[in-house]
Structure 1
Amino acid sequence: MVSNYLKLQYRLLGRHIKATGLPVPIASLLLFGLCYLMYYALFQYPIFGCYAVILGNFQLLFLLTEKNRNDFLKNTFSRRDFHKIRLWENGLVVIPSFVILLLHGHWLYALFLTLLAVVFAFLTFKAFGKSIPTPFAKKPFEFIIGFRRSYLLLLVLYVLAGIGFYAANSNLVLFCVVCIALTCVFYYQLPEPIFYLWNNHHTPTAFLMRKFKRGILQCLLLVLPLLFLYAVIFPSDLFNACIVLGGILLLLPFAITLKYVAYPREINFPEVFALALCFSFYPLIFALLPFYYMKAINNLKNHL
């Protein structure tokens, strides 16, 4: 039963990869390249690289603990098979990062990652219900859904930022701010139902501008408290905080633009590649943002 379930998940993963327009072998090569980049980044930034690896795996493991999904598995399989499946899933998720950490000699981080994978196999988290308020308005809805899927990660990032303030480590605080901003970027991964757009009376330009404005304001709601404390505690490093803030003001609109370039389908490899280009050389965003903005406007004309 367990092997059949894992085979089914492998087939579903292959279909998702093919839906992006990439052959499975090419996707495997890209995954290998991503692991190599992670390996190289750990050479350049060993401490923050380890934090990034752990936090990325933390969020992936957290997503696998979603209550409805786990309730389905519990109803379908015996208790023993359920825990086997969860351990296999978590193990497959963390094994690339585990190997990379071991190759760098970070065996304590690798051990902590293994412990996380085992502990999360026995946990189930239910997303916040409607009765529990979020700090966001209904529009755009992406932040409500995204916040409920990543609240534990955000809590960990705030705790790490608090440690950074306590230890007078300004780089750790900025690292947490950047991670929070990147988390907000991934809130725009999935498209909304098309009738949401049919009910909208704005022009494509006005629609995108409203999305930009609300998205930036709600992202700032998460990062401004940390940036304000950063400016008070580390006034000599204020320029670094301004650079990070300026990056957020450009990166979030770019992510929103890519969403509506791909709409009504999900963001696939071409859009992810454009986002990765900006991460590798951020000034490219000044050229890519206007180009993709016009593509998004033309695409929205077919739906608004």
Structure 2
Amino acid sequence: MINNYLKLQYKLLTRHFKATGLPIVIAPFLLLGTCYLSYYLMLQYPVFGSYTLLLSNFQLLFLLTEKNRNDFLKNTFHKSDFCKIRLLENGILILPSFIILLLLKLWIYAAALIILAIVFAFLIFKAFGQSIPTPFTKKPFEFIIGFRRSYLLILVLYILAAIGFYVLNPNLVLFCVGGIALTCVFYYQVPEPQFYLWNNRHKPAGFLLGKFRRGLLQCFLFTLPLLLLYSFIFSSAWFNALIVLGGIFFLLPFAITLKYVAYPREINFPEGFALLLCFSFYPLILALFPFYYFKALKNLNNYL
């Protein structure tokens, strides 16, 4: 039974990858390339790289604790098999990061990753339904769904930011603000049903402008309190807060634009690669944003 379940998950992952338009034979090379890039970046920034790796795995492990998914597994498998499946899933998920941490001899972080994988295997969160209130309105929906899927990660980032303020570490605070902003960017992965757009009275430019405005406002609800407190406590480094704020101001609209370039499908490799290029060299966003903006307008003309 467990083998059949793992084969099914493999087929699902294969289909998701093929939906990007890339041949499946490229998948191992992309995985190795991503691991090597993570390893290289951690050599350059060992502390913040370790935080990023742990927090990324934290969020992925959290997503696997979704209640409906785990209820299905419990109803399908015996309790012992259910525990084995959850431990195996989490183990496979953290394996690349664990190997990277071992290669860098970051034993404490590697041990913390194992503990996270074991603990999350036995946790079930009811965070995806209507039981978690949010500070966001129903339109647009991205932040409601995204917040309910990442509230634990945001809480951890706020705790880390509080530690940063307490120990007077401005870099840790800015790291947390950047982590929250990136989390908000990933809220725009899921496309809405087409009838949401059919019922919209705006033209493509007005529609995108409204998305930009609301997305930035909701993102700033998370990040502005930390940035304002940062500017007050680290008054001599207020310009760094301004740079981060400016980065968010361009990054989130760019992610929204990529969503509607790809619409009605999810963001795949071409759009993800453009986003990755901007992460590696941020000023590139000034050149790519207009190009993708007009592509999004052209695509939205088919639905609005």
Q: Same fold (TM over 0.5)?
A: yes
* Gaps in structure 2 of 5+ consecutive residues: none
Structure-2 residue corresponding to 1:22: 22
Deviation per CA, 1:238-259: give whole Å up to 9, x if none: 1111110000000000000000
Amino acid aligned to 2:297? I
Structure-2 residue corresponding to 1:200: 200
1:124 aligns with 2:124: yes
CA distance in 2, matches of 1:293, 1:82: 46
1:184 aligns with 2:184: yes
Q: Secondary structure at the match of 1:136?
A: coil
Amino acid aligned to 1:287? A
CA distance in 1, matches of 2:146, 2:67: 16
1:90 aligns with 2:82: no
Deviation per CA, 1:60-109: give whole Å up to 9, x if none: 00000000000000000000000100001000000000000010010110
Amino acid aligned to 2:210? R
CA distance in 2, matches of 1:131, 1:74: 22
Structure-1 residue corresponding to 2:72: 72
Structure-2 residue corresponding to 1:170: 170
Change (3 A) 1:49 1:132: closer
Amino acid aligned to 2:275? L
- The alpha-carbon deviation at position 152 of structure 1 amounts to 0.3
- The alpha-carbon deviation at position 133 of structure 1 amounts to 2.5
Is the contact between residue 59 and residue 153 of structure 2 (CA under 8 Å) also seen in structure 1? Answer: yes
CA distance in 2, matches of 1:135, 1:168: 29
Identity between Structure 1 and Structure 2 (%): 73
Counterparts of 1:112-261 in structure 2, within 5 Å, are: 112-127=112-127, 129-130=129-130, 132-261=132-261
CA distance in 2, matches of 1:6, 1:30: 21
- The alpha-carbon deviation at position 130 of structure 1 amounts to 2.8
Is the contact between residue 66 and residue 128 of structure 2 (CA under 8 Å) also seen in structure 1? Answer: no
Is the contact between residue 65 and residue 121 of structure 2 (CA under 8 Å) also seen in structure 1? Answer: yes
Is the contact between residue 132 and residue 148 of structure 2 (CA under 8 Å) also seen in structure 1? Answer: no
- The alpha-carbon deviation at position 47 of structure 1 amounts to 0.4
Show structure 1 runs of 4+ deviating over 3 A.
none
Structure-2 residue corresponding to 1:288: 288
Q: TM-score, normalised by structure 2?
A: 0.99
CA distance in 2, matches of 1:108, 1:257: 40
CA distance in 1, matches of 2:132, 2:300: 34
With 123-132 and 143-152 compared, the bigger mean Cα shift is at: 123-132
- The alpha-carbon deviation at position 3 of structure 1 amounts to 1.1
1:274 aligns with 2:274: yes
Q: Secondary structure at the match of 1:293?
A: helix
CA distance in 2, matches of 1:43, 1:54: 15
- The alpha-carbon deviation at position 132 of structure 1 amounts to 4.2
Deviation per CA, 1:166-201: give whole Å up to 9, x if none: 000000000000000000000000100000000001
Counterparts of 1:7-18 in structure 2, within 5 Å, are: 7-18=7-18
With 154-163 and 20-29 compared, the bigger mean Cα shift is at: 20-29
Amino acid aligned to 1:169? N
Is the contact between residue 128 and residue 145 of structure 2 (CA under 8 Å) also seen in structure 1? Answer: no
Q: Secondary structure at the match of 2:130?
A: coil
Amino acid aligned to 1:34? T
